[in-house]
Amino acid sequence: MGGPRQAFRIGFCDTPAAKYACEHWHYSARMPVGAVVTFGVWEDRFIGAVVFSKGAGGTTKRATRYGLERIEAAELARVALTTHKAPVTQIVAESLRRLKKVNPGLRLVISYADTRFGHHGGIYQASNRTHAGLSGGTRE
């Protein structure tokens, strides 16, 4: 009997597709620097991308706070979606599963909610992530 069938599909996408999603459907309108893995999201059509990166330096440095090597950490840098039906938490969860599959040494994924744009981390809270505090508004 299995559970409900996913209404979306996730797979690797190329950098131009991820860049298009970031530039058109993410509030920053930018592709992050140093992207390492880009996943495309499809329902009946391409609806966006989830982008993981090494971060701008701060992310991998933060890994050491948890006793990890820098290469064991990544940043969930963008969730860039147009109109969609699937819950964002499911899209992020499936992306994380796939990321772990291709990077078995990965132990920590850090994400940020930009309060300057009214973000409060709702998709992270809804997916039971650990809140580790505020970054202080600085870039490391």
Residue 137 lies in a domain: no
In a domain, 97, yes or no: yes
Q: How many domains does the chain have?
A: 1
> Distance between CA atoms of 68 and 95, rounded to whole angstroms?
22
Domain around 85: 9-126
CA angle 33, 37, 39 (to 5 degrees): 115
d(CA 34, CA 77): 10
Answer whether 28's CB lies under 8 Å from 22's CB.
Answer: yes
* 45, part of any domain: yes
pLDDT tens string for the chain (140 positions)? 454 566 899 999 999 999 999 999 998 899 988 767 999 999 999 999 999 988 666 666 778 888 888 888 888 999 999 999 999 999 999 999 999 999 999 998 887 766 666 665 566 555 555 555 555 554 44
pLDDT at site 87: 92
Residue 139: what pLDDT? Answer: 46
Assign residue 80 the CATH number of its domain: 3.40.630
